[in-house]
């Protein structure tokens, strides 16, 4: 009998769905933060995320179905045994993260964050000119599920959208132009908005250099809802304080949790949220992940085809 460890925040109806998919298995539910080294080492299948250090290349673990789209800690050599299948949750976060990024963008363009600060200070203050998204060129770096969700919202308000992806392929309907990562430097100067939805890989670490911020318009808004290590903290601070760009909104930071003494907190033209755009705050996310987990559990047990198998070379789904 195979043991299935579930770290998802499931309700009884979710348990029934998973157990129907894994008939004959023993299920252990420990919640988001309840995994222990003992539980991990006893698992044949894990549905959810556990601290990578607990896995220790367990030869017993056959399937690790993550509840995250990012796979950074799990593709490090030595974390998983060579026979372990790793699948991620790509496709579950598009709506939630795309809408969060879009809300951050409009907040910054209309200076709503500054008006909120003025409200708390009981100050009737006019912060001057704003801009309209309908007049903007929006560059979306990482045009996967999340990037396309964001692009659709921008395009609905009349923006011109440019998508950036790693490999050649078809252009989604929500994107007006498509280019490859190696063409990034040629399109940055055109963008009024640069929105990043990249995973954490060696290729994306510190992608947004001081030189790339300098290449952007000084009126540009930078949004990062991908991985914090795509831009170094001091580089972002310098770009904002020196006026290389107008404003930024970040849901991710190079160091998380962001220390209370970080200078990022005090950058006036920066909007910060604490990596909450995904998580399980939107109920739709959990429903999609449970469905994916049930499908992959059943397929794994029956020798079928799994969805979202991760390529260890890139960290993306194959």
- Cα–Cα dist 268/109, whole Å: 14
Residue 85, strand partner residues: 63
| C-alpha torsion sign, points 181, 185, 186, 191 | positive
- Cα–Cα dist 271/298, whole Å: 42
- Cα–Cα dist 285/275, whole Å: 15
Measured CA to CA in angstroms, residue 72 lies from 119, 136, 273, 303 at distances of: 40, 33, 21, 27
Query: Which pair of structure tokens corresponds to residue 109?
Result: 């363009």
Range list of H helices, 171-282 = 184-187, 210-215, 233-241
Catalytic option among 14, 100, 212, 227: 227
Beta-sheet pairing, 137-141 with 160-165: parallel
Phi–psi pair at 78, nearest 5 degrees: 95, -10
Query: Which pair of structure tokens corresponds to residue 104?
Result: 């951050």
Neighbour count for residue 95 (Cβ, 10 Å): 16
CA angle 168, 195, 222 (to 5 degrees): 140
Per-residue HEC secondary structure of 34-46 comes to: CCCHHHHHCCCEE
Residue 310, strand partner residues: 317
Respond yes or no: is residue 227 known to be catalytic. yes
Catalytic option among 256, 268, 281, 287: 256
Respond yes or no: is residue 275 known to be catalytic. yes
Query: What residues are annotated to the active site?
Result: 227, 256, 275
């Amino acid at each position: 009998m195979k043991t299935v460890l579930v770290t998802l925040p499931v309700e009884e109806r979710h348990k029934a769905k998973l157990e129907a998919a894994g008939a004959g298995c023993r299920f252990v539910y420990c919640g988001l933060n309840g995994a222990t080294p003992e539980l991990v080492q006893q698992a044949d299948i894990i549905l959810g995320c556990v601290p990578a250090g607990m896995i220790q290349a367990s030869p017993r673990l056959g399937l690790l179905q993550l509840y995250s789209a990012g796979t950074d800690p799990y593709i490090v050599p030595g974390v998983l045994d060579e026979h372990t299948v790793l699948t991620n949750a790509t496709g579950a976060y598009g709506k939630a993260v795309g809408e969060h990024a879009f809300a951050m963008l409009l907040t910054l363009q209309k200076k709503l964050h500054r008006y909120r600060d003025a409200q708390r200070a009981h100050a009737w203050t006019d912060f001057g000119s704003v801009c309209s998204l309908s007049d903007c060129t929006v560059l979306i770096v990482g045009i996967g599920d999340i990037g396309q969700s964001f692009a659709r919202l921008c395009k609905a308000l009349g923006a011109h959208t440019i998508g950036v992806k790693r490999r050649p392929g078809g252009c989604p309907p929500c994107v007006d132009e498509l280019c490859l990562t190696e063409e990034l430097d040629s399109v940055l100067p055109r963008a009024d908005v640069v929105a990043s939805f990249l995973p954490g890989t060696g290729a994306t670490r510190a992608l947004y250099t001081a030189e790339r911020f300098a290449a952007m318009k000084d009126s540009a808004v930078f949004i990062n809802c991908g991985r914090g290590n795509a831009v170094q903290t001091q580089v972002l601070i310098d770009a904002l304080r020196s006026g290389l760009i107008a404003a930024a909104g970040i849901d991710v930071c190079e160091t998380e949790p962001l220390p209370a003494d970080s200078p990022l907190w005090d950058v006036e033209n920066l909007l910060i949220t604490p990596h909450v755009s995904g998580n399980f705050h939107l109920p739709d996310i959990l429903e999609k992940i449970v469905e994916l987990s049930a499908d992959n559990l059943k397929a794994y047990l029956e020798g079928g085809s799994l969805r979202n198998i991760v390529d260890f070379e890139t960290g993306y789904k194959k």
